[in-house]
Amino acid sequence: MPHDVIMPALGMAQDSGLIVSWLKSPGDAVKAGDALMEVETDKATMEVEAQADGFLTRVTAAAGDTIPVGNVVAVIAETAEAADEDPPAPVAESKAPAEAESEPAPAELPDGKSVIMPALGMAQDTGLLVSWAKAPGDQVAADDVLFEVETDKSTMEVPAGHDGYVAALLAEAGDTVPVGESVAIISADKPADPQRRSAGPSAKPTAAPSDPAAKTEEAIATKATAPARPSPTKAAAVEGVILASPKTRRLALEEGLDLARLAEAGHPQPFHVRDLETLRTMPARGTGSAAPVEAAPARHLSARVSSDGLAGFLAWARAETQGSVDQSTLLAGFARASLRSLDGNPDPVIEVETLHGSTRFPEAAEDDATNGKPDLILRDLRASPLNGLRMGAEAAPVLTLVQEDETLTLTLECGAGQLDARAAISLVSGFAGRLEDPLRHLL
149-180 confidence digits (pLDDT tens): 876 656 778 888 889 999 999 888 888 888 77
Same domain, 116 and 248: no
Question: Predicted confidence band at 228 (pLDDT cuts at 50, 70, 90)?
Answer: very low
Same domain, 305 and 344: yes
Question: Predicted confidence band at 43 (pLDDT cuts at 50, 70, 90)?
Answer: low
**R_g of the chain computed on alpha carbons:** 23
In percent, the amount of the chain with pLDDT more than 90 equals 14
| CATH number (domain holding residue 112) | 2.40.50.100
Q: Which residues contact 338 (CB under 8 A, 6 or more apart)?
A: 426, 427, 430, 431, 434
Same domain, 424 and 324: yes
Q: Give residue-wise pLDDT tens across range 287-345.
A: 554 444 444 457 889 999 999 999 888 888 888 887 778 899 889 999 998 888 776 67
Cβ-defined contacts of 374-377 (< 8 Å, 24+): 374/349, 374/350, 375/339, 375/345, 375/348, 375/349, 375/350, 376/335, 376/339, 376/348, 376/349, 376/350, 376/351, 377/350, 377/351, 377/353
- For residues 215-227, give the mean pLDDT: 42
Same domain, 433 and 305: yes
Is residue 102, in this structure, part of any structural domain at all?
no
Same domain, 65 and 158: no
Is residue 96, in this structure, part of any structural domain at all?
no
For position 66, what pLDDT does the model report? 87
Same domain, 339 and 426: yes
Query: How far, in Å, are 20, 27, 50, 66, 249 from residue 377 at the CA level?
Result: 31, 33, 20, 34, 19
Q: Residue 323, class by beta-carbon neighbours within 10 Å (0-12 exposed, 13-18 middle, 19+ buried)?
A: exposed
Same domain, 269 and 302: no
Q: Give residue-wise pLDDT tens across range 10-35.
A: 655 567 788 888 888 888 898 887 88
| pTM confidence score | 0.38
Higher pLDDT, 204 or 418: 418
Query: How far, in Å, are 33, 36, 159, 233, 394 from residue 379 at the CA level?
Result: 14, 20, 19, 39, 13
Question: Predicted confidence band at 241 (pLDDT cuts at 50, 70, 90)?
Answer: low
- Among the residue ranges 37-46, 206-215, 300-309, the one predicted with the least confidence is 206-215
Look at residues 268, 295, 322 and tell me which one is the last residue of a structural domain. 295
Amino acid at 335: A
Angle at which helix 421-436 crosses helix 327-343, to 10 degrees, equals: 140
Same domain, 304 and 429: yes
What residue numbers bound the domain in which 282 lies? 211-222+242-295
Residue 302's H or E segment, with its range, is strand 298-306
168 beta partners: 185, 195
Same domain, 275 and 329: no
Q: Which of 190, 15, 172 is nearest to 112 (CA)?
A: 190
For position 103, what pLDDT does the model report? 47
Total count of domains within the chain: 4
Is residue 390, in this structure, part of any structural domain at all?
yes
Q: Which of 211, 272, 267 is nearest to 239 (CA)?
A: 211
Q: Which of 199, 404, 423, 162 is nearest to 306 (CA)?
A: 404
Same domain, 312 and 249: no
- Residue 49 has phi, psi (to 5 degrees) of -95, 160
Same domain, 81 and 177: no
Question: Phi-psi region for residue 33, left (φ > 0), alpha (ψ -120 to 50) or beta?
Answer: left
Is residue 91, in this structure, part of any structural domain at all?
no
